[in-house]
Each structure stands twice: as structure tokens, then as C-alpha cells.
């Protein structure tokens, strides 16, 4: 399936918006995680955990799923394909991995936000913040972004076969 130019531009705009939004959501989440780690005030720690839960479920998860879906549509509807180039394959694997880790991790965030909301001040001292997941997630998302912008060369064996098939068919059509 090849998209029309208008549909391709629309999908590209949507995909970039979802992807950059996902990165922005992670940056906001990471900021709250830092506030929870360094915060001396119980109310700040409590608010940070509540904010991380809200940003996670209502911004990051939907943006991650929308980015994954729009990326699939873009790869299947353009010349790049899903499995033809290493950069698309690596982007797919990293996006799926990041999305799965996110979906597995969010119930823990909800549990900790619930503890932060109900706990007395002294019990919040050891709660800390969540820096590992958003920190690694941000690096992964930035790697994906660089791959998608620079599109490094390198076709997969499947991509080479497809290219050879297209070349074999092209002269017969002329």
C-alpha cells in the first residue's frame, strides 16, 4: 500500500507530533521524579508522585501507543517499509520495547502514587522518585528520533530481496 502525498504528510505530521509529545511527557515525568528525589517537603514529594501517575497514564501511555501505531502506518505506507531497512527495524524494536516497559511499569507508579497520597510525612522520606525508567526511556526515545531523522543506510536481507524483485519486474514493464 502506497499512501497519497496528502495522506503521507498528514500521517508524518501525526507521527512526529506523537513522538515528540512522548519525549516531552517523559521529560515532564523525569522532572517530577527529580523533584520527588530531592524534595524536602512532604507535599512536594506527594504531589510529584501524583503528577507522575497522571502524566504517565494520561499523556505518556497514549502518546506511546499513538506513536507506535502511526509509525507502523508510516512504514507500511511508504517506500521505507517495516523490515527493509535496519533503521526502521531498530526503531520498531526499540519503540515496542519502550512501550512494553512503560505498560509494565505504570501499575508500579500507580501503587507508589497511592502510597504517597495516603502515607504520613515520615513514611514518605524513603519513597524517593522514579529516575531510572524515565532516564533510560528518554535515551531510547532520542536514539529512535535520531534514527528516524538521519535514516542511516543499510538494508536488511529482506530489503535486498524486495529491491531485487522490484528491479527484475521494472524492465519488463517498460
Confidence at residue 33, expressed as pLDDT on a 0 to 100 scale: 95
The tens digit of pLDDT for each residue in 117-147 reads 988 766 676 787 889 999 999 999 999 999 9
Beta-carbon contacts of residue 26 (< 8 Å; ≥ 6 apart): 60, 134, 137, 138, 141
Contact 80, 1 (CB under 8 A): no
According to DSSP, the residues that pair with 155 across neighbouring strands are 85
Contact 2, 77 (CB under 8 A): yes
Backbone angles phi, psi at 155, to 5 degrees: -100, 145
Where in the chain are the domains? 5-173
The tens digit of pLDDT for each residue in 56-87 reads 999 999 999 999 999 999 999 988 888 999 99
Residue of 36, 41, 35, 50 whose CA lies nearest to 113: 50
CA-CA distance, 157 to 84, in Å (whole number)?
8
- Strand, coil or helix: what is 50? helix
The tens digit of pLDDT for each residue in 2-29 reads 789 999 999 999 999 999 999 999 999 9
Amino acid at each position: 500500500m502506497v499512501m497519497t502525498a496528502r495522506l503521507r504528510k498528514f500521517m508524518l505530521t501525526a507521527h512526529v507530533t506523537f513522538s515528540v509529545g512522548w519525549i516531552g511527557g517523559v521529560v515532564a515525568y523525569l522532572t517530577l521524579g527529580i523533584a520527588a528525589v530531592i524534595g524536602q517537603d512532604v507535599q512536594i514529594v506527594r504531589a510529584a508522585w501524583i503528577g507522575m501517575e497522571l502524566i504517565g497514564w494520561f499523556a505518556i501511555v497514549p502518546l506511546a501507543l499513538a506513536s507506535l501505531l502511526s509509525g507502523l502506518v508510516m512504514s507500511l505506507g511508504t517506500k521505507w517499509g517495516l523490515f527493509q531497512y535496519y533503521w526502521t527495524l531498530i526503531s520498531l524494536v526499540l519503540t515496542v520495547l519502550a512501550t512494553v516497559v512503560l505498560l509494565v511499569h505504570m501499575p508500579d507508579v500507580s501503587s507508589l502514587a497511592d502510597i504517597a497520597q495516603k502515607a504520613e510525612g515520615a513514611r514518605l522520606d524513603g519513597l524517593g522518585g522514579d529516575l531510572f525508567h524515565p532516564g533510560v526511556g528518554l535515551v531510547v526515545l532520542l536514539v529512535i528520533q535520531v534514527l528516524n531523522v538521519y535514516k542511516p543506510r543499510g538494508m536488511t536481507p529482506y530489503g535486498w530481496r524486495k529491491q531485487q524483485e522490484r528491479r527484475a519486474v521494472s524492465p519488463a514493464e517498460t
